[in-house]
Amino acid sequence: MIHRAVATYRENEPDETEASAKAEATARESTRGVAVIAAAKAWFMVTGFAQPIVLTRLLLGEGYGLYAVVLNVISILNNVVVAGSIQAMSHAVTDGGVTALRKGLLIHAALGLSLAGALLAGADLLGAGVLHDARLPPLLRIGAVIVADYSVYAALVGALNGRRRFRAQAGLDITFATLRTGLILGLAATPLRVTGAITGFAIASVLILLAALALHRDDLRAPVAPAAGGVSTGVFARSYARFFAPVLVYQLALNLVLQADLLVMKAVLSRREGVDEAAINTLAGVYKAVQNFAFLPYQLLLAVTFVVFPVVSKSTLEGDREATAGFVRGALRFSALALGAMLAVLGAMPGGVLRLAYRPPFDLGAPVLRWLSLAQGAFALSVIGTTIVLAAGRTAAASALMAAMLAAVFAGNVVGLALSPADLSALTHTALGTLFGCLVGLVLVGAYVRRTFGAFLSLTTAARVAACGVGAAAVGAWVPWPGKVGTLAGAAVVGLIYVALLVVTREVTPSEFARIRRVLRRR
């Protein structure tokens, strides 16, 4: 009996050891994967922010405005596809392997060609018609190449993610960021200027697509046995669409809220009689330069959505309403505190912030930055709210809320521009229209989340954060901060004043600071 027990133990021991080794290897792989992808994303952000700094100097006001209009159209289409493609393909390949990869690529190739074909066919209507600029159609046609490539490229990146090839995924991100920045800036410096910049982007998208296909060469070439085909392509496509389509609707509304105001401004102002098209494009360039900074609150808070989604999804699945409500309150409070610091700095010294990156005339957008950054702050809180709704499986509700915000932003932009002349004040009126729409959206999202989950951002916290932010911004605006070094020093001072005011108002208590210090010491 003892011998049998020992034998049984020895037979099972390697399995347990093997399982433990596999778990440890998986943990190491995941940790390294997070690290390399984070590094790649950081490089992507650095190169992305370097582009407008150099492009504004190469293309000047009018050229950068023309580039900005084309870029916003392309970005809206690309972001909608990319947001869902990586997640959907990762999920499909994890379950279905090489077969899912091949079928998924067919779907994404068809989607990319459809979007690119629509942009090619509608380039005249959109560029010369809606946006009223005869120079736009050929640029939009070049952009159609980017849209087609992005659809397939994003799917290939998702496949790498699903197969846990994190290093390859990060390598593609870094390579693409470098290629895109180098080719855009390199060709923009030639006599082609704006056409060169868009062409450089298109060439970079072709090259990175070829590189991504090369990484999947063995999988795409390997023969698949008939029995391994699994479900038919039609059944797979329907299943894939059920996962993918709702994300596309939500992301389309989200990206239109984020970027369509510039296009509305261009379309409205370009139709006025006696207006110089070069002046309108210069205004568009200034507005885009302001957008690049105003987007920072939203971009920096995106990390919160990555935490919110799985936590809320799990708690709602378990039916734990109290835990969900507590997490919602905590996540939104943290987000509001962080937003207050960023908005205080942007509100205190908008001209200095813009001069950190740009030369005249782009610093003329300083007054606009105050309003547009507030709009993006409201938008960021709204996106966290709709992410909570999505995590609970209420995709239709999240899409409806984002669509309502889009309608409010569009109405605000149109009314604001109708009351504005075609000069710098048009930028402020556009930003105020966007702020109006985002505030309406925030109220709607807040009401829905509070009714559904029993919690949202506390009105007391919102009032204290607003008061502390305004107080810190007022001090920063009152004190002169000469030069770029002065602006950086001023930003630090405004941030410290904001934190001090949070303590004075007891929005942040000493015990909370003590907890933060303990967490940091553990790390």
Q: Measure the CA–CA gap between 301 and 307, rounded to whole angstroms.
A: 11
Q: pTM, whole model, 2 decimals? A: 0.86
Alpha helices in 163-295 (DSSP H): 166-188, 194-215, 217-221, 233-270, 277-294
Please state whether the peptide bond connecting residue 137 to the residue before it is cis, i.e. omega within 30 degrees of 0.
no
pLDDT in tens, the chain (523 residues): 444 444 444 444 445 555 555 445 444 544 555 566 667 767 877 888 889 999 999 999 999 999 999 999 999 999 888 877 776 777 777 777 788 888 888 888 998 999 999 999 999 999 999 999 999 999 999 999 999 999 999 889 888 877 777 788 888 889 999 999 999 999 999 999 999 999 999 999 999 999 999 998 887 776 665 544 455 667 777 777 776 777 788 989 999 999 999 999 999 999 888 888 899 999 999 999 999 999 988 887 776 665 665 666 666 666 667 777 888 888 888 889 999 999 999 999 999 999 999 998 898 999 999 999 999 999 999 999 998 888 787 888 999 999 999 999 999 999 999 999 888 999 999 999 999 999 999 999 999 999 998 889 999 999 999 999 999 999 999 998 888 999 999 999 999 999 999 999 988 877 766 665 665 455 4
C-alpha atoms less than 13 angstroms from C-alpha of 505 in its C-beta half-sphere? 19
Token pair 């596809």 in the structure block, residue: 81
